[in-house]
Amino acid sequence: MRRGLPVVAFAALLAACGTDRPDPPCCAVPIEVALASAPHVLSVQEQATSVAGYRLFWLDIEQPLDHAAPGGPAFRQFASLLYRGPGRPVVLATNGYGASRLPGRSELAALLDASQLTVEHRFFGSSTPSPPDWSKLTIQQAAADHHRVVESLRPVLGGRWLSAGASKGGMTAVYHRRFYPADVDGTVAYVAPISTSTSDQAYVAFLQAVGTAGCRQALQDLQHALLARRAEVQPLFEASAGSGDGFTTFGPSKAYDYAVVELSFAFWQYGSGLPACAGVPAPDAGPAALFAFMDGTLGGAAGWIGDRSLAFFAGYYYQSATQLGGPAYPQDHLLDVLPGGVPADDVPEVYPPLGVQKTWDAAAMPDVAGWVSTSGQRLLFVYGENDPWSTRPFAPDAANDSFRFFVPAGNHGSIITLLPDPDRGSATAAVRRWAGLEAAAALSSGEVPAHDPRALLEGERGLSALR
């Protein structure tokens, strides 16, 4: 198995251009040759891309299953590189899930006119060890993956590096900085929460206060009707799964319960907020109307809690059950229509991977939160005011050249260019300064391109708990 040049030979290749960390990269060596020669790089393939001004490369990088035992089992981690050219900043897109093979530019890469290196998270997509040893899916091991990528490719690409991620990808960027704070020159974490348990009650309090009383009541009445009229609506739910998919992991009734319980969370996470309240159907609406609203709010019932989705996101559920935590959901208004009159056991411990021990690490998130609040340098957090995940934001220290902003009425698709002035200008100036670029005028909200809040960065899509 080819693993790039030995470190000594790779250093000699770079030295031939007059430096061991070129900026811009090697003058005489084509980028594809330099990438293929980097340590731990197993393969490089150039692919066609529709992103103007960029070249797209697919890379496979060898990673130890356990970074504490580098001579043991290894796996191939996929990464894509949208290469802008020599001398440009690099955005390390820390993807929290699987990575698209045909990536578009993230907001940060567009703001900086930067190259973009997107790394698929371990235990997702093709970057899954075989067999999977779930005990090696930790924030420490994933951070070490990203550190190895930076060590391998920063000498090739040169320039200033900023990491960025959305949702779980934003959390991943913060964890990487926690353990390797000097790897990049700054970090932008979009809509990245830090939960305190696998059933964090702060999310219940948020959902009981967001929006208006009338809107919250309409959603509660709808949830109640969906369960009270299960015999009419659940068949539509079950029939919505396409060929090869279904609701067998939990069984259709439990899957239906979970989807209904999480409906108000999804409404605020991905919806347009108060304007969408007018579209909540009345409890006595026809079953087709009730299900249509449910299906639309979830972005597709099967995509939310169907078998394929549950299998794809098994790594997320494992991490939520062991280190990341997740939300509790309001259920008191549903107890009279839930089976047995008790709350649904909708917690990550019962999600895939099934039959795998999941032990909660109570120290992991407090450690990260403490680092962000006291030591984290050049961190920028963007949240949405109406996004339930914003109720558990990180708290950076402004004295450490770090920032936190909220998009008014924003959802889980909140980004820098949706911030109001002067926050948008402050955020844009910070990331350009960290990237070593001159200040430039921030985009106005009218110039923000259309974007899907379910896909803020490539691969960040689907599912309620960061789903």
CA–chain centroid gap for 268, Å, is 17
Residue 295 confidence class, pLDDT cut points 50, 70, 90:
very high
Q: How many CA atoms lie within 13 A of 70 on its CB side?
A: 5
Q: Is the pLDDT of residue 1 over 60?
A: no
Q: What is the pLDDT of residue 189?
A: 98
Strands 74-83 and 115-119: antiparallel
Q: Is the pLDDT of residue 459 over 70?
A: no
**Mean pLDDT value across residues 305-311:** 97
Q: What is the pLDDT of residue 273?
A: 85
Q: Which of 46-55, 296-305, 421-430, 433-442 has the lowest mean pLDDT?
A: 433-442
Residue 455 confidence class, pLDDT cut points 50, 70, 90:
very low
- Identify whether 453 is preceded by a cis peptide bond (ω within 30 of 0): no
Percent share of the chain, pLDDT over 90: 86
Percent share of the chain, pLDDT over 70: 88
Encode pLDDT of 215-225 as tens digits: 999 999 999 99
Q: Give the separation between CA 377 and CA 370, rounded to whole angstroms.
A: 13
Q: Which of 24-33, 262-271, 329-338, 370-379 has the lowest mean pLDDT?
A: 24-33
Pure H helices in 191-286: 202-207, 213-228, 230-239, 252-261, 263-270, 274-277
Token pair, residue 72, equals 């043991």
Considering the entire predicted model, what is its pTM?
0.91
Residue 13 confidence class, pLDDT cut points 50, 70, 90:
low
Q: Which of 15-19, 158-162, 290-294 has the lowest mean pLDDT?
A: 15-19
Q: Is the pLDDT of residue 453 over 70?
A: no
Rg (CA), the chain: 23
Q: Decide if 82 contacts 112 (C-beta within 8 A).
A: no
> Which H or E element spans position 189?
strand 186-190
Residues paired with 41 in a beta bridge? 61
Q: Is the pLDDT of residue 177 over 90?
A: yes
CA-to-CA dists, residue 380 to 166, 355, 389, 439, angstroms: 12, 38, 16, 17
DSSP 323: I
Q: What is the pLDDT of residue 457?
A: 41
Token pair, residue 110, equals 């567009």
Q: Which of 35-39, 69-73, 418-422, 445-449 has the lowest mean pLDDT?
A: 445-449
Residues 6+ positions from 93 with CB-CB distance below 8 Å? 103, 106, 109, 116, 117, 118, 119, 163, 164, 165, 169, 457, 458
CA–chain centroid gap for 442, Å, is 24
Q: What is the pLDDT of residue 461?
A: 36
